[in-house]
Structure 1
Amino acid sequence: MTINENLSAFNNKRIVDFEEEISSLDFVYRIRVDYDDEEQDFEALLQKFCNDPKAAEAKELIIGAWNEIDEGTESLEIVNFLTRNKDKLPKLEYLFLGDITYEECEMSWINQCDVSPLLAAFPQLKHFQVRGGNDLSLGSLHHEALETLIVETGGMNRQILNEITNAKLPKLKHLELWLGNENYGWSGTLEDLQPFLSRDHFPNLTYLGLKNSEISDEIAKALNDASILDGLEVLDLSMGTLGDEGAQALLANPKIAQLKSLNLSHHYISDEVSAKLSELPCQVDLSDQEEEDEYGRYVEVGE
């Protein structure tokens, strides 16, 4: 599966594509250009948005497809532009960099950059989301207000994992990492994920998503008696390759029953074991059951 649709809602508001002006702040505006129209100028459109007087009241912004997504340094130019124009967006709290479908650019081809200047420029951000792992860096991440961090890749470099491990995010409640597979850039190990299984790093976390992973079984087994489960409301291992081995480890883990929600959608679990999971006292999502073929199992989004 690939990402075939743009977001339709963000922060519980409907998304519209920005064209000429900000008509109402009841909407969230997405800045994007048509991927096959070379005449459109992304930065000019972004400039028009920032120059609109109502931008000073905007709390949300989505960056969609820009020119030359899979080559060049335009993502860096976008980051630099927003950083320079931070005073025109003084109330920005929700930012998504890369609402891009596969028709616009496959996720594994999206060129990103060091996005840490954005987080430094907008200290009031509560939600930061980025799609695409090529050349992505979070830098030395220290943010006092951030509550949600979502990093979507078809293959996550271990450098990103280390940057998040070393981050200082005292208010973080929602951490969602799309880990991917090694064919598209995954270079981490289970050892690199161990810090995310401890509550020492992110004591206020209520949602942990280690998604889209080719080592879902190993992650499930490593969660045995993991302190992160204490106080966690949602565990999300969806989009990956979870099979009976990992599912049995979850069933044997008494802390799993304390969750409110367990998301295992897109999985390789047998009907027999799925039936046992369905008996857990928490809400369990077992949709999108896959069958392993002669070449093995696949994460939901790689390329």
Structure 2
Amino acid sequence: MINSHLTSFAGLPVAPFVPGGTLPDDPSAVAWRLEIEDFDAEPEVFAALFAAFRAEVPAEAVRAVVIGEWGAAYESAPPLDLLVAAAGEWTGLRHLFLADLVGEQCEISWITHDDITGLLRAYPALETFWVRGGNELRLAPLRHDGLRELGFQTGGLPATVSRAVAASDLPALRRLDLWLGQQQYQGDTTGKDLAELLAGDRVPELRHLAICNSEFADDIARAVATAPVVARLEVLDLSKGVLTDTGGEALLAGQPLTHLRRLDLSHHFLSEQCADRLVAALPGVEVDIADPQEVHVYGDREYRFTAVGE
């Protein structure tokens, strides 16, 4: 669950758009939040807000946009058509966050999406793109020369989307965040699905890689342990998942990680001994082993949970 809305995005303070309200002296110095506070509102209500925003905020000042609640997010996707229609005017848009919703508005695994490929193609100069929620999310492999930061915050990221990201040519990308989530919410991505990404050829500038919040954390760790892309990373984030000693041992036995600035393993199921060995093996690296978890036992079964879900 995500418990709070963004207060800043892409280094800019988030400001809600109010139709008829007073604009800041520099409308380009904020990330504009577009949201209606009615989860049962008809699509026309958000469309009217969007139209007012286009009419009142100069197109050349639209630099960053955060899409909040647009209606019944548990059953309808964000109004991508409105964003695509504005692309011809919003030539300065560089930063976009899709579905900044908290649990009280819609559980992260219920946030419904659609095919975002056309949206990315409509904004070839977009530099930052984050999506929250993965239900019915779709993406086709593409080339995007502008993206420097791409993130998917989900309680379940479909493997089809992970494979599409891995197969995309993103020559300027420096940061990628994939919150893979739980199988019961379409979070079926494994290390095999990320093979093209981990080879590194399609993301030559990648320096920050997060493959986290995964029920397959040990499998991801095994894949990362021999992945060519890791050699050029500064930050590797395998946090929020169900990493156990199996994954920890794979990292210890794999390629050197001493070049990293930070290794994030927080929210994990490592034993104290394995966690300590990882820290000791990387003396010059900031290794985060905070938030150790306990296995839940019910009857004869053990359960481990990701950090972000329902």
- Residue in 2 aligned with 1:49? 53
- Residue in 2 aligned with 1:299? 306
CA contact (8 A) 2:166 2:195 kept: no
Q: Which runs of 5+ in 2 are unaligned?
A: none
Note if 1:290 corresponds to 2:293: yes
Matches within 5 A, 1:193-212: 193-212=194-213
- Residue in 2 aligned with 1:169? 170
Aligned pair in 2 of structure 1 residues 95, 227: CA closer, same or farther (>3 Å)? Answer: same
**Structure 2 counterpart of 1:236, which letter?**
D
- Residue in 1 aligned with 2:110? 109
CA contact (8 A) 1:4 1:102 kept: yes
CA contact (8 A) 1:225 1:255 kept: no
Structure 2: distance between partners of 1:37 and 1:135: 20
Report deviation, 1:142.
1.9
Which stretches of structure 1, 4 residues or longer, exceed 3 Å deviation after superposition? 35-40
**Structure 2 counterpart of 1:96, which letter?**
F
Note if 1:6 corresponds to 2:10: no
Q: Secondary structure at the match of 2:156?
A: coil
1:33-90 CA-to-partner distances (Å, cap 9, x unmatched) read 1145748922211221122243422211110111111113x52xx2111111113311
Q: Secondary structure at the match of 1:41?
A: helix
**Structure 1 counterpart of 2:100, which letter?**
D
Structure 2: distance between partners of 1:189 and 1:275: 26
Report deviation, 1:124.
0.8
Q: Which runs of 5+ in 1 are unaligned?
A: none
Aligned pair in 2 of structure 1 residues 86, 249: CA closer, same or farther (>3 Å)? Answer: same
Note if 1:149 corresponds to 2:150: yes
Structure 2: distance between partners of 1:266 and 1:231: 25
Structure 2: distance between partners of 1:43 and 1:267: 43
CA contact (8 A) 1:241 1:298 kept: yes
Structure 2: distance between partners of 1:282 and 1:189: 26
Q: Secondary structure at the match of 1:262?
A: strand
RMSD: 1.8
Structure 1: distance between partners of 2:38 and 2:57: 28
Structure 1: distance between partners of 2:181 and 2:240: 9
- Residue in 2 aligned with 1:93? 94
**Structure 2 counterpart of 1:193, which letter?**
L
**Structure 2 counterpart of 1:67, which letter?**
G
TM-score, normalised with respect to structure 2: 0.90
Structure 2: distance between partners of 1:198 and 1:92: 31
CA contact (8 A) 1:35 1:104 kept: no
Q: Secondary structure at the match of 2:291?
A: coil
Report deviation, 1:274.
2.2
Q: Secondary structure at the match of 2:93?
A: coil
Aligned pair in 2 of structure 1 residues 182, 234: CA closer, same or farther (>3 Å)? Answer: same
Structure 2: distance between partners of 1:56 and 1:80: 20
Q: Secondary structure at the match of 2:28?
A: coil
Note if 1:126 corresponds to 2:127: yes
Report deviation, 1:194.
2.1
Q: Secondary structure at the match of 1:217?
A: helix
Q: Percent identity?
A: 36
1:90-128 CA-to-partner distances (Å, cap 9, x unmatched) read 100010111111110011111101111211111110111
Q: How many residues end up aligned between the 2 structures?
A: 299
Report deviation, 1:259.
0.6
Report deviation, 1:249.
2.2
- Residue in 2 aligned with 1:60? 64
Aligned pair in 2 of structure 1 residues 94, 56: CA closer, same or farther (>3 Å)? Answer: same
